[in-house]
């Protein structure tokens, strides 16, 4: 027993930064998700399924623009910061390059957004809601979470986000009372996100004593090149994931969007708890790559993913009734199907972070997501030949995820990467 305690203490001491980074990364995302889970029963009853479904629909569209502005910089930027965490000049240059690159992308995204809203009547009808939600793309510029992840100090970011989330709660409960208050809700959530992002940026500038400057386009071309595979990968993933809400809203109605969204919310917390394992381990594994450890991580994450599916099947029904009432019961079977994606995110994330990236096979990251997207489209096409139902979309996204795992395993065996 004494030896076990000693080994446990040694393990903790050797991985203290990893554990702390994982904890605060997880808390940060749990807070964000828990924030909406806590207010969801109130919102679904005050705004109603139609108005709340419209909000989910709008945010699904805005997520495309957010993805474009972020452009997949996070992983290569974390790698650069983690490998030079004590070099202030290098960190300042990395931050400056990412900031400048994202401003260019924001300008392009804004032009496309204005043209899109002006050209499509159904978007133009609710243009002010789209505009306010679009302002959240600014968080991609001013919220350098990747920097704090790289220096393994996620504690700061978590505290800031917690403060702004808590600050917004009284405004939501005091001002949101009926479906006509949707715009007020959108304004509150947008101000919360932008306020947290700008505060974090100020801390980097003054507390970390890092000066961010405008850099030339020639200097940021390297970062566009480095981030391109991750951008293509995340784009394919976002198109696949967010297109479900958009397709449901366009062809089935906003109430069905709300039903799908509740099912998705049920699996968000376990997804965050599990997926952040890879993000927290990434700096540690990159510093000391060992094949046997990577195998253990993948085995553990496969088991954890299967456990999540079982738990959602057992408890999902009661969570749906508690949060949305009997009218939202259809979310329960959908949540079981979607829980498969937790295992997919875990296992595929491990393959990408600990196998493809260390071997500099960024193209495989892109190819994997393209395979997932194409398989999703194929499964949807075949499914809609049988029945025009939202279950076709949900089953297709689960099947495309399993296809990702098979494809990753094929690439690893082909290249003999995980053989001792």
Judged against a pLDDT cut of 50, whether residue 401 lies above it is answered with yes
Query: pLDDT higher for 6 or 381?
Result: 381
> Is 401 part of a structural domain of the chain?
yes
d(CA 352, CA 265): 25
Rounded to 5 degrees, what are φ and ψ at 76? -65, -30
DSSP secondary structure letter of residue 389: S
Confidence of residue 6 (pLDDT cuts 50, 70, 90): low
Q: What average pLDDT does this structure show over 245-250?
A: 88
> Within a domain: residue 315?
yes
CB atoms within 10 A of CB 274: 21
Q: Which residue has the higher pLDDT, 212 or 179?
A: 179
Q: Could you give the 3-state DSSP secondary structure of residue 64? A: helix
Q: Is 107 exposed, middle or buried (0-12, 13-18, 19+ CB in 10 A)?
A: exposed
Mean pLDDT of the region 356-360 = 78
7 pLDDT above the threshold of 60:
no
pLDDT of residue 265 exceeding 80, the answer is yes
- State the Cα–Cα distance between residues 119 and 106, nearest whole angstrom: 20
Q: Would the pLDDT of 9 be above 60?
A: no
pTM of the model: 0.75
| Measured distance CA(142)–CA(217) in Å, rounded | 19
Only one residue has tokens 């959530």, namely 189
| pLDDT the model gives residue 253 | 87
Nearest to 52 by CA among 246, 251, 253, 258: 258
Report which of 376, 347, 359, 297 is spatially closest to residue 18, judged by C-alpha positions. 297
Section 56-74 average pLDDT:
89
pLDDT at residue number 17: 60
| Spatial separation of the C-alpha atoms in residues 95 and 81, rounded to whole Å | 9
CB 14 within 8 A of CB 281: no
Q: Supply the pLDDT for residue 388.
A: 85
Over range 13-40, report the average pLDDT: 66
Q: Is residue 8 part of a domain?
A: no
Domain total for the chain? 1
Rounded to whole angstroms, the Cα distance separating 333 from 13 reads 43
Domain residue limits at 40: 17-415
Q: What is the mean pLDDT of residues 28-37?
A: 69
Tell me the torsion sign for CA atoms 183, 64, 381, 373.
Answer: negative
pLDDT at residue 12 in the model: 46
The answer, yes or no, to whether residue 243 has pLDDT greater than 70, is: yes
- For residues 48 and 119, give the distance between their C-alpha atoms in angstroms, rounded to a whole number: 28
Token representation of residue 137: 């793309």
Lowest mean pLDDT among 21-25, 112-116, 308-312, 346-350: 21-25
Separation of alpha carbons 33 and 254, rounded Å:
21
Write down the pLDDT at residue 280: 65
Q: What's the pLDDT band for 380 if we cut at 50, 70, 90?
A: very high
Q: Which of 16, 96, 47, 98 is nearest to 280 (CA)?
A: 16
CA distance 102 to 141: 6
CB atoms within 10 A of CB 18: 18
Q: Which residue has the tokens 């909000």?
A: 55
In contact, 63 and 237? CB cutoff 8 Å: no
Cα dihedral 335/339/340/341 (nearest 10): 110
Complete DSSP assignment for 193-235: HHHHHHHHHHHHHHTS--------HHHHHHHHHHHHHHHHHHH
Average pLDDT of the residues of the chain: 83
Rounded percentage of the chain residues whose pLDDT exceeds 70: 86
Instruction: Report if residue 166 sits inside a domain.
Output: yes
Whether residue 58 has pLDDT greater than 80: yes
pLDDT of res. 295: 83
More confident position, 222 or 36: 222
Q: Which residue has tokens 């296992």? A: 347
- Residue 233 covered by a domain: yes
* Spatial separation of the C-alpha atoms in residues 134 and 279, rounded to whole Å: 27
Residue 52, token pair as written in the block: 């709340």
Return the pLDDT at 31. 67
Over residues 293-330, the pLDDT tens digits come to 778 878 888 888 899 899 999 999 998 988 888 888 89
Pull the structure tokens for residue 182: 């949707």
**294 lies in some domain:** yes
Residue 83 lies in a domain: yes
Residue 114 located in a structural domain: yes
Cβ atoms within 10 Å of 314's Cβ, excluding its own? 10
């Amino acid at each position: 027993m004494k030896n076990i305690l000693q080994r446990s203490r040694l393990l903790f001491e050797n991985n203290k930064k990893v554990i702390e980074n994982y904890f605060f990364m997880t808390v940060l995302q749990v807070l964000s998700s828990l924030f909406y889970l806590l207010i969801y029963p109130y919102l679904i009853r005050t705004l109603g399924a139609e108005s709340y479904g419209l909000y989910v629909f709008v945010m699904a569209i805005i997520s495309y623009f957010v993805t474009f502005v972020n452009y997949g910089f996070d992983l290569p930027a974390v790698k650069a910061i983690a490998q030079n965490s004590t070099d202030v000049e290098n960190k300042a240059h990395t931050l400056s390059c990412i900031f400048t690159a994202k401003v260019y992308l924001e300008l392009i995204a804004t032009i496309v957004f204005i043209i899109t809203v002006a050209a499509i009547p159904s978007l133009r009808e609710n243009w002010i809601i789209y505009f306010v939600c679009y302002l959240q793309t600014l968080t991609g510029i001013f919220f350098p979470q990747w920097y704090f992840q790289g220096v393994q100090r996620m504690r700061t970011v978590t505290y800031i986000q917690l403060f702004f989330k808590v600050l917004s709660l009284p405004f939501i409960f005091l001002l949101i009372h009926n479906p006509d208050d949707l715009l007020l809700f959108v304004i509150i959530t947008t101000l919360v996100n932008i306020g947290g992002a700008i505060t974090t940026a100020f801390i980097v500038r003054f507390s970390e004593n890092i000066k961010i400057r405008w850099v030339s386009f020639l200097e940021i071309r390297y970062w566009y090149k480095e981030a391109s595979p991750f951008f293509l990968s995340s784009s394919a993933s976002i198109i696949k994931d967010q297109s479900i809400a958009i397709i449901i809203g366009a062809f089935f109605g906003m109430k069905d969007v709300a039903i799908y969204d509740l099912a998705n919310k049920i699996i968000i917390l376990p997804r965050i708890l599990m997926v952040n394992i890879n993000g927290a381990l990434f700096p540690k594994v990159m510093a000391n790559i060992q094949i046997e450890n990577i195998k253990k991580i993948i085995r553990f994450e496969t088991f954890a993913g299967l456990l999540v599916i079982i738990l959602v099947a057992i408890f999902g029904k009661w969570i749906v009734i508690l949060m949305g009432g009997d009218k939202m019961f259809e979310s329960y079977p959908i949540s079981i199907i979607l829980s498969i994606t937790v295992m997919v995110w875990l296992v595929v994330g491990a393959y990408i972070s600990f196998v493809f990236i260390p071997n500099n096979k960024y193209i495989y990251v892109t190819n994997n997501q393209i395979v997932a997207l194409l398989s999703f489209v194929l499964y949807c096409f075949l499914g809609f030949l049988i029945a025009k139902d939202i279950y076709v979309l949900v089953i297709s996204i689960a099947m495309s995820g399993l296809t990702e795992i098979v494809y990753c395993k094929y690439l690893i065996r082909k290249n003999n990467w995980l053989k001792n």
